[in-house]
Structure 1
């Protein structure tokens, strides 16, 4: 069955309302993408990050009237003309292949790979995390995630308890357990991320040792040997007291999601002391890792 792909470029204020409307008007999938290769510098823990210019793409059944969709879009946005747009007709095979072709196995640490389910692992004897792109952040290809995975692959995790604060897809918790950690607590405020994390754990043969929950469900006195917070700059500042308190004495804290040294410099005073951080960088993104004194 062919599909109609309709892409519109809109500003931030119209992006989410238009995406919601596309679903109401019959789209089987809707995606939001950066329209100008603009990095996100700031957002809040309880809000979805969006760019100033956004491409909203809806995939509709073949016989959908694009004139009708564009007319509804004009009405929704109170415009005389529809916003800049493209219309393509895709076959099932073209759509699947164009989507899947973007994702290949990715080495993210010593003997650690992230492998889409439709690909053969390049190193069958390595630790291969089977993870498909989905509805939650974290497929290993973003520098912040790969920095965290590389750091984890260098640690001795046997017997350790991990807290993955802002778990997204659950990839860091899954990797830690596959690398020998005793237990991983994957927390996120997004229920959808929690469900994705549970599914990804099952796909990777993890049926115990991974606790998936909201941050509010952690016991007040819970502490972990390693706390990883791969979240956003503003959130790392906002939640600094909570995150610091979750690291047990002698444990490690890993902060990622920092774009550039300026953000790292601004975050450090909220955690130092007691932590003294080492810094790593990849494609302008920064990871901070430091140990809490005994």
Structure 2
């Protein structure tokens, strides 16, 4: 008999609401969320998955606050159906078993293959294997934003004459993108996240891939880091990427590259490009998969050399 310790929350919503809802539930739960865009069979609908501690004294208060928030959000988007909140108890053991049943080896990029630690796989034609155990953190490489970021990372690193000397992965989750960089030859990768479960999972995955000498995973914020970094990677939601722009700019080396994902194609990607362009970080390329976009940008000038528009 298992002991139930979590409440699984699934919020089905229009894509236009997904970022707001993901941000809200990330803050509410404190342990990250998952955005699924492949389960509904519709390109205009997303499912946000979050977990709350069933034994927390604030559980009912949190659920009530969440329902009120979703209703308020529905009022702001009258042109879309109201979000649907589904709730179900989940045991830790059940959660782990589901991951193992559904997680099979797959190609992340042209040369990188994701393989769960409990599966066997023989590499073909120069493929590199990344072993991942998602644990209690999110991030298996199945989401379109992770695939897009990984493909841009591979393209960027393999097309350079020299490898990036220092790499920063912001919001590393299970460490997949940091591990991608190391597998492609990068020797000095810093992977950060504010979720202890995510960092614990990333440390295990880094060790499983024998990359402890190349990647350092930390629970820390951007403000505590010292640049410069030749390559910065951030697979995070749009609003957070906008808020982080000045700090990322300060950490990015002159002529350094920035790869961002977790944003929607169209208005969000154009807005992100505009925000970073004002800092002298120019968009070089974009990749799109369904509703999702990933950008590769390059820092070309220092902010102080931008023209003064007040004159």
TM-score, normalised to structure 2's length? Answer: 0.68
Unpaired runs of at least 5, structure 2: 36-45, 65-84, 302-311
Q: Is the 8 A contact 1:138 1:171 kept in 2?
A: yes
Q: Is the 8 A contact 1:147 1:282 kept in 2?
A: yes
Deviations 1:251-279 (A, max 9, x none): 11111110121111122221004122121
**Superposition deviation, residue 30 in structure 1:** 4.5
Structure 1's 87 and 181: CA in aligned 2 closer, same or farther, altered over 3 A?
closer
Q: How many residues align?
A: 250
Give the secondary structure class of the aligned counterpart of 2:137.
Answer: coil
Residue 279 of structure 1 pairs with residue 291 of structure 2: no
Q: Is the 8 A contact 2:9 2:86 kept in 1?
A: no
Residue in 2 that maps onto 1:6:
none
**Superposition deviation, residue 225 in structure 1:** 0.8
More helix by percentage: 2
Residue in 2 that maps onto 1:33:
10
Residue in 2 that maps onto 1:108:
108
Mapped to 2, the partners of 1:135 and 1:34 lie a distance apart of: 19
Mapped to 1, the partners of 2:132 and 2:8 lie a distance apart of: 19
Say which is worse superposed, 41-50 or 136-145, in terms of deviation: 41-50
Structure 1's 104 and 241: CA in aligned 2 closer, same or farther, altered over 3 A?
same
**Superposition deviation, residue 201 in structure 1:** 0.7
Structure 1's 33 and 229: CA in aligned 2 closer, same or farther, altered over 3 A?
same
**Superposition deviation, residue 100 in structure 1:** 2.4
Root-mean-square deviation (Å): 3.7
Q: Is the 8 A contact 1:136 1:192 kept in 2?
A: yes
Q: Which has the larger radius of gyration?
A: 1
Mapped to 2, the partners of 1:95 and 1:233 lie a distance apart of: 28
Correspondence list, 1:1-294, <5 A: 26-28=3-5, 30-35=7-12, 40-42=18-20, 43=23, 47-48=27-28, 98-123=98-123, 126-154=127-155, 155-156=157-158, 158=163, 160-213=165-218, 214-216=220-222, 218-220=224-226, 222-273=227-278, 274-277=280-283, 278-293=285-300
Q: Is the 8 A contact 2:133 2:201 kept in 1?
A: no
Mapped to 2, the partners of 1:284 and 1:108 lie a distance apart of: 18
Q: Is the 8 A contact 1:109 1:150 kept in 2?
A: yes
Mapped to 2, the partners of 1:209 and 1:112 lie a distance apart of: 17
**Superposition deviation, residue 135 in structure 1:** 2.6
Structure 1's 231 and 104: CA in aligned 2 closer, same or farther, altered over 3 A?
same
**Superposition deviation, residue 87 in structure 1:** 9.3
Unpaired runs of at least 5, structure 1: 4-25, 61-71, 78-82
Q: Is the 8 A contact 2:171 2:234 kept in 1?
A: yes
Deviations 1:23-67 (A, max 9, x none): xxx415553333457662222797257799978889x9xxxxxxx
TM-score, normalised to structure 1's length? Answer: 0.71
**Superposition deviation, residue 183 in structure 1:** 0.7
Deviations 1:137-181 (A, max 9, x none): 321111111111111222236353211011111111111111100
Residue in 1 that maps onto 2:77:
none
Q: Is the 8 A contact 1:230 1:255 kept in 2?
A: yes
Structure 1's 57 and 181: CA in aligned 2 closer, same or farther, altered over 3 A?
closer
Mapped to 2, the partners of 1:177 and 1:252 lie a distance apart of: 16
Q: Is the 8 A contact 2:10 2:86 kept in 1?
A: no
Residue in 2 that maps onto 1:13:
none
